[in-house]
Amino acid sequence: MLLAYLDEIGEPGAYVSRHHERFNTSAGLGYAGFVVPDSQVREFGSIFTREKRRLFAAQYEGAKNPGAWEVKGASVFRSKTPSYAPQNIRVFSYLCRQLTRLGGRLFYYVDEKPKGTPKQVGLDTDLVERRAMEEVLNRICRAADREDENVMFMIDAISEDQRSRRLPNMYAHILGRAVGKPEMRRAVEPPMHIDSQLSAAIQFADWVAAILGRALEYQLLADSDCRWVGEALWEQRNLLFTKESKLHLLPGRAVSDLHNWDVLKRDRPLLASGSVVADPETARKMERLFQQTRSQK
């Protein structure tokens, strides 16, 4: 069996630009983490815990509850990390090598957001989040089917209100899609939500989401200075990601979606193409057409 540990990249709110006074959080929304054989989870968790405690030794020694102590990925990886904490990048690269040695792979799926205020883009945050999660489930089930394995999903804990809204949708999607897509039967259960303080694997998924969030930012935003992510992981690229990993670009782009290790490319195919996105209304129409086509497959 495979275990998929996931955390959110970005958030479902509107995005205009990084310099907008309100809508500046993230140019995309999705999930990232890793998939690993169940037999290797304990070993990888031990490796991660050991390296985390070495890397942040002073903080660990001062923790009130060492058993529930964690360091959030957003603190580990910032845009200027190569300047002030290059050791964080070295340790993450090492952890990736250990993960692939144990048969694991990183995974990501992110939808690029249309730029505009909620009114301009007709924002429905629940729909945006649900679409992203459905595609995550589809792709990881496909990866599991290719390996002839079942899969269980673990996600960082969210509020009870969010969980009660999202879980029925995920369960219905898995069951409904299984009628025409037998790979969905690889999912043993809908995603379970786990407190990251109690799971080394969920903590590493948070680190993965943080650093891949920087890599995706570099691909989408011309003023991003996060080229260092691709440079740090480039040598491992061929073994690092599941084939199903993807950055889904908005309709109207002059280039196709980015897959697998495309997210590490330093030449930024999206920006190098000089591609443009249609105006928000046209982009919404094209996106609706894309979703209708996808649902019929």
* Share of the chain residues as helix, strand and coil, in percent rounded to the nearest 5: 55, 15, 30
* Cα atoms in the 13 Å half-sphere on the side-chain side of 190: 16
Per-residue pLDDT band at 139 (split at 50, 70, 90) = very high
Q: 87 or 179: which carries more pLDDT confidence?
A: 87
Residue that has been written with the tokens 């995706």 in this structure: 216
pLDDT digits (tens, 9 = 90+) for 162-219: 777 778 888 899 999 998 899 999 999 988 989 888 899 999 999 999 999 999 999 9
Print the domain residue range for 144: 2-296
H/E element, 165: helix 160-177
Give CA–CA dist 279/121, Å, rounded.
10
pLDDT digits (tens, 9 = 90+) for 236-295: 999 999 999 999 999 888 889 999 999 999 999 888 766 555 455 555 554 555 455 555
Would the pTM of this model clear 0.85, i.e. be above it? Answer: yes
Give CA–CA dist 138/134, Å, rounded.
6
Q: What is the pLDDT of residue 278?
A: 46
Number of H helices, E strands in the chain: 13, 7
Residue that has been written with the tokens 């050791």 in this structure: 87
Sign of CA dihedral 201, 132, 168, 296: negative
Share of the chain above pLDDT 90, in %: 68
pLDDT digits (tens, 9 = 90+) for 149-163: 999 999 987 666 777
Query: Does residue 296 register a pLDDT over 90?
Result: no
Give CA–CA dist 180/135, Å, rounded.
15
- State the total domains in the chain: 1
Mean pLDDT estimate for the chain? 89
> Could you give the strand order of the β-sheet that contains 246-248, starting from the edge strand earlier in sequence?
192-194, 151-156, 2-9, 28-37, 105-112, 246-248, 258-259
